Amino acid sequence: MPVVEIGRVAINFEDTGSGPAILLVHGLGCRGEVWINQLPLFAEHHRVIAVDLRGFGRSSKPTEPGSYELDRFVDDLIALVEKLDIAPIHYVGTSLGGYIGQVFAIRRPDLLRSLVLCHTASVSSIPARVRAARLRALNKKSMVHYGHLVASQALAVHVRPAVHEWLCEMVADNDREVYTQVFNEGLGHFDVRKLVGAIRVPTMVLVGELDRVIPAAGGRKTAALIPGARLSAIAGVGHISYLEQPQEFNRAVLGFIDEAERGTPARPGRVKSDRGAANGARLAASRRPA
């Protein structure tokens, strides 16, 4: 996988397909590989970049204080887009990646063609009980135990066991100290509610109706704050719809991107859930974490 050097940080990413560029930005504890159900389909008509954020996957893991403030992530992605010369991009970010996306859109709207914010909010809104349980586990339990805690919080109860285990393994593979630093620096004081009204690029906010990590209410409020933003809700999913119901997620995101490219006005939408074969259908053993 290619790597871009940005100052003293090496950013790893997957680069596939051709056409207008889509940048996929994962959430806390994951890596670019988490987009396994999106990469092949999205790459049919687009160049797709799935990044490992600093601190995750094969990217550098600095430990200096302040290394994981939101602006540091944004700096990395701006530099990546400019070095690859792929602007304007369709930005698709989930959870922490959605936090980063909002700051990116505020700072450099000229680099964006559209903005998709998934399972996120404009202010740090992880429920206190979820945050407390995670911090306790990080301090006292193994990362394997922590991975199971995160998966149980993030996924809807009906998700296939293979999807649950794959996510557990990915989270457990993280460096505990770096993960804790990102959790505190990147999520602790995030609040752009007074700033997102300046976003003018076509925007869709996607929520999972059963999300217990960043409840759907946070996404709905974000959509209301961004002028012209579309709100799409996926029924029957938690915090990881792109793994839980990838067909529904892909239809919503690619439909919005297509409309953004054609200049069609955004409309509110609701995506129905099918709990059958779509549930993690493309999860391939060959792409499982090592």
Q: How confident is the model at residue 270 (pLDDT cuts 50, 70, 90)?
A: very low
Q: Is the pLDDT of residue 269 over 70?
A: no
d(CA 47, CA 89): 10
What pTM value is reported for the model?
0.91
Are residues 245 and 282 in contact, defined by beta-carbon separation less than 8 angstroms? no
Least confident of 59-73, 192-206, 273-287: 273-287
The rounded mean pLDDT for the chain is: 90
Count: domains in the chain: 1
Least confident of 138-147, 196-205, 270-279: 270-279
**pLDDT > 70 fraction of the chain, expressed in percent and rounded:** 91
CATH number of the domain residue 192 falls in? 3.40.50.1820
What integer pLDDT is reported at residue 287 of this predicted model?
56
d(CA 200, CA 131): 32
Domain with 122, as residue range(s), is 3-287
Q: How confident is the model at residue 186 (pLDDT cuts 50, 70, 90)?
A: confident
